[in-house]
């Protein structure tokens, strides 16, 4: 059985001023052709899951392109066109194929193309025809569109946030495409789109309301007639028509059952719509509370400067509060290539004043002056050893560590999501021995530091990933929508397109 594999991954924050270029993909994740299989064999991401499924079920995999970039602003047209061209040309050369497995994010936006994943899937469908199954894995922040649903035979979304199950979902997708191709299953599906925006820190699947919703998903998936269920909470910092929470129920030759379960999940989500509201703490109060704890680490979550949501990674609100309140044994990571360059010029064991942060835009706090002793200079490379993308290699670019009167300030060339403890350990910083750790994330940081945390404080910082969704200047999202508007009952929008 001959199956093409590939994928495109980008979570696009349309409020970001940082345009995403082809270079951003090439610097983060750009693996082409025969390089894919050796690179991701034994890596616990979707592609690793595809590869293991191929080994277990006898698939011949034909790799195309797997590319991704750190979340940021709208993808440049030339980048999107280039990536699309490579993937489709590789697929065309591989034809005929028995099926296609794609690892997509689900919230990628390019210049002139609001629905990148739907557009790509339409092109793939045009190449392989109506009879070759297309099975797609999606991030749980996917903003699923009607076109995505229509063009794919099955959509398999993550069940967890933090995302610790991409490998499992990739393996599941590989198993299902075998059953589809063999004619062992006949998918019948229902799609629902609810007018509901949810901030990421309310999407944690180990806490209510998502814990209760996912428990219902697991109950439904115990039915042997159910193939897969996806509840994608969506990505709210994306001003496009397809934004919002999505539900996809996929059964084996039972349309009525798919509809009934989709209706059940709609009701379960909608009755909890007000439970997605969050309340964050001011930076000064958060630092005061953290300093009052006898033992650490206390995690201060820099919510609005969430790199994994496309933010700058150079927000200074918490750094400024920590410095002004003379917090000790704290660690903050700031993306600041200019300061990295200066620290390297100064050299290890030197002390100087640095103008840090607040340089990418004016939305994440001002540049602040801080004196620091250059303790370490590193190439910034590490491998994931925790539960998130185990085995994947990450580069922070040139990286320096400054000691600033008891506060350790990590300066990186690249914006890097804090999803693995090696983010710090690779720099000779043991997180378990820190009193305070600032993470520029929403929830996914828990894969790195969740088990170490003595206390967690979500902080109301400025930035483009703020939990105050009403503060964003939306123009293209469908209205009315919660929490921007009010509904009494489940709206008629919650139907299959």
Question: Are 288 and 258 contained in the same domain?
Answer: no
Asked if pLDDT for residue 487 goes beyond 60, the answer is: yes
Choice between 305 and 392, residue whose per-residue pLDDT is larger = 305
pLDDT for position 493: 47
Question: Are 267 and 303 contained in the same domain?
Answer: no
Exposed/middle/buried for 326, CB within 10 Å: 0-12, 13-18, 19+? exposed
- Angle, CA of 479, 471 and 275, to the nearest 5°: 70
Asked whether residue 188 is assigned to any structural domain, the reply reads: yes
Q: Where is average pLDDT lowest: 100-104, 212-216, 414-418?
A: 414-418
Question: Are 142 and 209 contained in the same domain?
Answer: yes
Question: Are 394 and 442 contained in the same domain?
Answer: yes
Q: What is the pLDDT of residues 330-383, one digit of tens each?
A: 999 999 999 999 999 999 999 999 999 999 999 999 999 999 999 999 999 999
pTM of the model: 0.94
Are the beta carbons of 9 and 158 closer than 8 angstroms? no
Question: Are 322 and 355 contained in the same domain?
Answer: yes
Q: Model confidence at 392, in pLDDT bands (50, 70, 90)?
A: confident
Averaged pLDDT for residues 134-141? 98
Question: Are 31 and 162 contained in the same domain?
Answer: yes
Q: What is the pLDDT of residues 317-329, one digit of tens each?
A: 999 999 999 999 9
Question: Quick one: three-class SS letters along 115-141?
Answer: CHHHHHHHHHHHHHCCCCCEEEEECCC
Q: What is the pLDDT of residues 169-192, one digit of tens each?
A: 999 999 999 999 999 999 999 999
Residue 455: helix, strand or coil by DSSP?
A: strand
Q: Which residues of 87-102 are buried (b: 16+ CB within 10 A; e: fewer)?
A: bbebbeebeebbbbbb
Domain that holds residue 418: 283-466
Asked whether residue 492 is assigned to any structural domain, the reply reads: no
Which of these three, 276, 295, 310, is where a domain ends?
Answer: 276
Asked whether residue 497 is assigned to any structural domain, the reply reads: no
Averaged pLDDT for residues 290-311? 95
Which of these three, 257, 276, 295, is where a domain ends?
Answer: 276
């Amino acid at each position: 059985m001959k199956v093409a594999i590939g994928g495109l991954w980008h979570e696009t924050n349309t409020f970001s001023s940082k345009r995403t270029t082809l270079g951003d993909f090439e610097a983060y994740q750009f693996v082409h052709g025969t390089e894919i299989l050796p690179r991701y064999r034994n890596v616990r991401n979707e592609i690793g899951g595809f590869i293991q499924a191929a080994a277990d079920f006898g698939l011949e995999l034909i790799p195309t392109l797997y590319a991704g970039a750190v979340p940021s602003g709208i993808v440049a047209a030339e980048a999107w066109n280039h990536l699309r061209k490579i993937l489709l040309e590789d697929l065309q050369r591989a034809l005929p194929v028995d099926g296609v497995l794609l690892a997509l994010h689900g919230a990628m936006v390019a210049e002139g193309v609001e629905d990148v994943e739907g557009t790509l899937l339409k092109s793939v469908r045009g190449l392989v025809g109506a009879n070759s199954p297309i099975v797609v894995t999606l991030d749980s922040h996917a903003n699923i569109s009607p076109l995505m649903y229509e063009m794919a035979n099955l959509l398999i979304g993550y069940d967890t946030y933090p995302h610790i199950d991409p490998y499992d979902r990739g393996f599941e997708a590989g198993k299902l495409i075998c059953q589809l191709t063999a004619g062992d299953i006949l998918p019948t599906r229902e799609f629902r789109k609810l007018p509901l925006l949810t901030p990421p820190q309310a999407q944690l699947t180990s806490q209510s309301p998502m814990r209760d919703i996912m428990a219902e998903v697991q109950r439904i998936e115990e039915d042997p007639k159910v193939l897969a269920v996806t509840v994608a909470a969506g990505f709210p910092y994306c001003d496009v028509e397809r934004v919002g929470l999505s539900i996809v129920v996929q059964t084996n030759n039972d349309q009525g059952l798919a509809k009934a379960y989709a209706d059940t999940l709609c009701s379960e989500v909608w009755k909890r719509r007000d439970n997605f509201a969050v309340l964050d703490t001011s930076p000064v109060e958060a630092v005061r509370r953290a300093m009052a704890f006898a033992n650490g680490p206390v995690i201060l979550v820099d919510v609005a400067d969430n790199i994994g949501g496309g933010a700058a990674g150079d927000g200074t609100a918490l750094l400024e509060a920590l410095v002004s309140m003379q917090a000790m044994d704290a660690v903050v990571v700031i993306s600041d290539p200019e300061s990295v360059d200066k620290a390297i010029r100064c050299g290890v064991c030197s002390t100087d004043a640095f103008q840090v942060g607040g340089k990418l835009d004016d939305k994440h706090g001002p540049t602040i002056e801080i004196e620091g002793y250059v303790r370490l200079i590193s190439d910034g490379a590490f491998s994931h050893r925790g539960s998130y993308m185990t085995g994947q290699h990450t580069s922070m670019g040139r990286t320096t560590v400054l000691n600033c009167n008891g506060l350790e300030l990590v300066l990186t060339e690249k914006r890097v999501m804090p999803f693995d403890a090696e983010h710090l350990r690779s720099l000779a910083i043991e997180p378990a021995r820190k009193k305070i750790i600032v993470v520029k994330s929403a929830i996914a940081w828990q894969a790195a530091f969740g088990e170490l945390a003595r206390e967690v404080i979500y902080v109301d910082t400025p930035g483009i990933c703020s939990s105050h969704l009403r503060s964003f200047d939306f123009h293209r999202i469908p209205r009315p929508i919660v929490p921007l508007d009010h509904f009494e009952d489940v709206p008629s929008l919650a139907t299959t397109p």
